[in-house]
Amino acid sequence: MIECAAEPISEALIRQYDVAGPRYTSYPTADRFVEAFTAQDYALALEQRRSGAAALALPLSLYVHIPFCESLCYYCACNKIITKHHDRSAAYLRYLSREVDLHTKHMGVGQPVSQLHLGGGSPTFLSDAELRDLMGLLRRNFKLVPGGEYSIEIDPRTIDVQRLDVLAELGFNRLSFGIQDFDPAVQKAVHRVQPAEQVFELVAAARARGFESVNADLIYGLPEQTPESFDRTLAQIVELKPERIALYAYAHLPERFKPQRRISSVEIPTAAAKVSMLARSMAAFMAAGYVYIGMDHFALPNDSLAVAKRQGRLHRNFQGYSTQPDCDMIGLGVSSIGRVGATYSQNAKTLEEYYDFLDQGQFPIVRGLALSRDDLVRRACIMALMCQGRLSYESIELAYLVNFKQYFAKELKALAAQEEQGLVVLEDSGIQVTEKGWFFVRAVAMLFDHYLQTDRTRTKFSKIL
C-alpha cells in the first residue's frame, strides 16, 4: 500500500494504471500532427489572427528553442545538439532572425507579448553577447509588455553570479533551474553532476538581484533513486524554497531517445516506488506551504501560477501549466511547437532541414493540425480536468452547444468505474477529481481522448506513474 493524504493507494490500482499515456500539454497530442499541414497553412493561420479583432486584445506567448548543450544528460528526451563548438550558435541566431522576419511579414511588427520562454537544450549555452543579440531581435519585432513573464531555462553548470546580472539587464524576471536531483549517486548515474551548493549560491544571488520567481525542475524515477534518497532532495528543495517547482516523472523511452539507452531499465525505480516518491513530494511541498497546481507543478501561494489557479485562469500548453488561458503561442527555432487559433504546428527537427526551409524563404513547418469541432470540445474537457480538477457540464454545453451527457455517454460510463475506485466523483453538475485521483489524473483525462480510445495499441507515450 502507498500512503497519500486521502487514503492508501493499493498495489492493484498501481498495477492497473502503470500504463503509457499522454501528458496533455496539448490535445490532440503532438503524435497526431500530420505532414499535410504545411507552411502555407501556418501562414494562413497567422494572417487570420492578424485580421481578427480578438488578436488585438490577446497578447502572444513566445517560445524560443536553443538546442545546444555542452554535455549529454542520459535522461534527456529534448531535441538537443551536444557540442563544445560555440561558433555553431552564431549561425543559428542568424536563421532565427529569418524566421522572425517571416512572422512579422504575416503578423506585422509590434505584436504584444506577455510571456517569453527560452528553452532547450541549454539557452545559457549562448554567450552574453549572443543573448543580447537575441533579446534585441525579439524586442525589435515584438512588444514585450510591462508585467509579463519572461523566463529562461538555466543549466547551473553554465552560469555564474556575474551572468545573472546580464539576464536581469536583458529583462528576464523568471529563472528555471534544471536540478533533477541533488543526490550525488543519481547525478553520476544520469551524467549531470552539479553540487547543491552551486545551485543554492545561484538562487541566493538571483533573489538579491530582484528576479521575481525561481523555478526548480525535479525528476523522480531516475536510476539510483529511492523514496528515501529522494526525501533528502525534497528537504533541500524546501530549504531552497523556489517560488515554483516542476516535478516530472522520468519517461524511459530508449527506443525513441538514444541517450536513454545508457540507462538500464533494471536501475529504474518500480511504479510503486515512483508513486511513493510522488506522494512524499506532495506531502513535503504542501507542508512547506506550496499550492498543488496540478499533475507536476507546485507554487507558493503568492506566485502568479497559484493565483491563476485560484481565479480559474490556469491553462496547459506545450511548456506545462501556464497563467494564460487560450493564448496563441509562437514557437521559434528547430523543433519548436506553436499554437495559432485552432491550429498546431511544429518546426523541422534537424538543423539542416530547418536551415533549408529558411534558405527558401519558407516557414520551417513540417507538420501540424487544424483542429476539428470534436477536437475543440474534447480539448476543453481534458484541460479542465488537468488544470482545475473539475469539469462543469454546463460550461461545455454553453461553449460548444452540445448535450454533455449524450455527447459523452461512453466516457461517463467509463468514469463510473473510476468513481468506484475513488478517483473521481460524478455529480449532477460535473466531474470532480478526488485527492487520490490527482495521482492518476492523466488516466482520467485519457477517457476523453478520442484518438487514444480508438488506437489502444500505441506505445509511444511515457508511463503515467
Q: How far apart are CA 68 and CA 92, in angstroms?
A: 10
Q: Is 344 annotated as a binding residue?
A: no
CA dihedral sign of residues 26, 27, 33, 39: negative
Strands (DSSP E) found in 39-169: 60-66, 68-69, 81-82, 111-120, 142-154
Element (H, E) at 343: strand 343-347
Q: Find out whether 106 and 47 touch, Cβ atoms under 8 Å.
A: yes
Q: How far is CA 67 from CA 83, 92, 169, 334, in A?
A: 10, 9, 23, 7
Q: Is 4 annotated as a binding residue?
A: no
Q: Is 251 annotated as a binding residue?
A: yes
Residue type, 297: H
Q: Is 78 annotated as a binding residue?
A: no
The DSSP annotation for 28-53 comes to S-GGG-BTTS-HHHHHHHHHHHHHSG
DSSP 70: S
Beta-bridged to residue 430, according to DSSP, are 392
Q: Is 192 annotated as a binding residue?
A: yes
Q: Is 217 annotated as a binding residue?
A: yes
- Residue 72, classified by CB atoms within 10 Å of its CB into exposed (0-12), middle (13-18) or buried (19+), is middle
Q: Is 63 annotated as a binding residue?
A: yes
The dihedrals phi and psi of 177, each to the nearest 5 degrees, come to -95, 125
Q: Is 337 annotated as a binding residue?
A: yes
Element (H, E) at 413: helix 409-420
Q: How far apart are CA 447 and CA 276, in angstroms?
A: 25
Grid coordinates belonging to 70 = 555542452
Q: Is 77 annotated as a binding residue?
A: yes
Q: Is 355 annotated as a binding residue?
A: no
Q: Is 236 annotated as a binding residue?
A: no
Q: Is 73 annotated as a binding residue?
A: yes
Element (H, E) at 298: strand 297-299
| CA 420, chain centre distance (Å) | 31
DSSP 341: T
Residue 6 has a CB neighbour count (10 Å cut-off) of: 13
Establish whether the linkage from the previous residue to 121 is cis, with ω within 30° of 0: yes
Helix (H, G, I), strand (E, B) or coil at 280: helix
Q: Find out whether 461 and 20 touch, Cβ atoms under 8 Å.
A: yes
Q: Is 370 annotated as a binding residue?
A: no
Enumerate residues 6+ apart whose C-beta is below 8 A from 425: 419, 431, 432, 434
Binding site residue list for [4Fe-4S] cluster: 69, 73, 76
Binding site residue list for S-adenosyl-L-methionine: 63, 75-77, 120, 153, 180, 192, 217, 251, 337
Binding site residue list: 63, 69, 73, 75-77, 120, 153, 180, 192, 217, 251, 337
